[in-house]
Structure 1
Amino acid sequence: MARYGKEHKEVTRRRIVKSAGRRLKKDGLDGSGVTTLMADAGLTNGAFYAHFASKDDLVAATIADQLQEQQVLLRQLADEPDGFTRFVRAYLSPGHRDDAEEGCPSGALLGEVARSSPAIRRAYSTGILGVADDLAALMTPGAPAAGRRQALGCIAILVGTLQLARAIDDPQESEAVLAEGARAISALLAAPEA
């Protein structure tokens, strides 16, 4: 019987992580068990432990992957003169609000991450601080290190706005929340540093 090579194992792991990202953002961290997460990847439970030590290990890897994807996007936008504005507009759009499965892991999972295991919180903390650094570089291209605090404030506004807009059942009120979030970011950026 032939064994799969290292490359095949990595491709399979990536497939599991990608499909888990969509499912976890849709159903929450506790909304799906290993069986469902593996079925989404087209695999059986038996394959799970060849890739992950536990469900928490998978969740941590998935959150890290999702936040790395955000960093890649922010770095791509850094080459565009209106990259920050485009990012905020897309983040606070009705399309993003309505598509948690394909959207930001913070907007979908933040409350659960705060109550999860140390490994998941560590993966999230590392990832979101990386996102903050890349967002700072996008916000203040000449001095990204000075912009980290502002970037964290911006992330707080973005995520809180998105979560509130998703929770409100009236579409017009929800869109008003998105618009107010964008105004709050503009005010944050216009305010002098304390």
Structure 2
Amino acid sequence: MIETAGRRFKADGIDGSGIATLVADAGLTNGAFYGHFASKGDLVASVVADQLAAQVAWVNALPAGLDSIGQLLSEYLSPAHRDDRAGGCPSAALLDEIGRCDDVTKQAYTAGAQDLIDAIARHLDPGDPEAAHQRAIGLFTLLVGALQAARAVSDAELSDQILATAYSNAMTIVGATQRAGSQTTQEQK
């Protein structure tokens, strides 16, 4: 139920997905739904937590280092990811609605977003965890915003330019990490 609801929410939105559709997607009945979830809000919070946990697991499974950040950026800012709303990033698909959800869903999102930022930071400058954390926040917000914008525009060329420019800007953030790490190493000598 959580997996199929995640795809439906990302494709049609939280408000655009009724319980009847969600249970039909999962091959269940309304009674089965209420046997597992107290409300649609309970399901939304579970989906948000699950979707973000899957992203965290993917980032954590990448080999440590900047090469993995390059891979993450390439995959996240790809036309294929932009065009696969249902299978893509929950933040880019649902962020505006999550902001209007109940506190339980916002707390699930906050915990997942923090975990994702931490996972990204582990690939950045290990010599300066605070700088790595700040850069990870910058990457996270740049990626999500760029994907949302690339999906929102009707001009395919502009959409591609948004993705390419976001990639370039993200690499600048990553490059700043490399320079900061080099400076720290130089200062330690």
TM-score normalised by length of structure 1: 0.86
Q: Deviations over 1:71-125 (max 9, x none)?
A: 1100111357621100000000000000010000001001111111111111000
Structure-2 residue corresponding to 1:58: 43
Q: What is the number of residues matched between the two proteins? A: 178
Structure-1 residue corresponding to 2:166: 181
SS in 2 for 1:82: helix
Pairwise CA distance, 1:20: 0.4
What are structure 1's unaligned runs of at least 5 residues?
A: 1-15
Structure-1 residue corresponding to 2:185: none
**Which shifted more, 56-65 or 135-144?**
135-144
**Which shifted more, 60-69 or 133-142?**
133-142
Contact 1:67–1:127 (Cα < 8 Å) also in 2: yes
Q: Which has the higher contact order (CA 8 A, sep 6+)?
A: 2
1:89 aligned partner, one-letter code: S
Give the direction of change, closer, same or farther, for the CA distance of 1:119–1:75 in structure 2 (3 Å limit): same
Pairwise CA distance, 1:190: 3.5
Q: Percent identity?
A: 46
TM-score normalised by length of structure 2: 0.89
Structure-2 residue corresponding to 1:3: none
- For 1:137, which of 114, 122, 134 is the aligned residue? 122
Structure-2 residue corresponding to 1:157: 142
Contact 1:38–1:44 (Cα < 8 Å) also in 2: yes
Alignment of 1:1-194 (within 5 A): 16-79=1-64, 82-144=67-129, 146-191=131-176
Pairwise CA distance, 1:141: 4.5
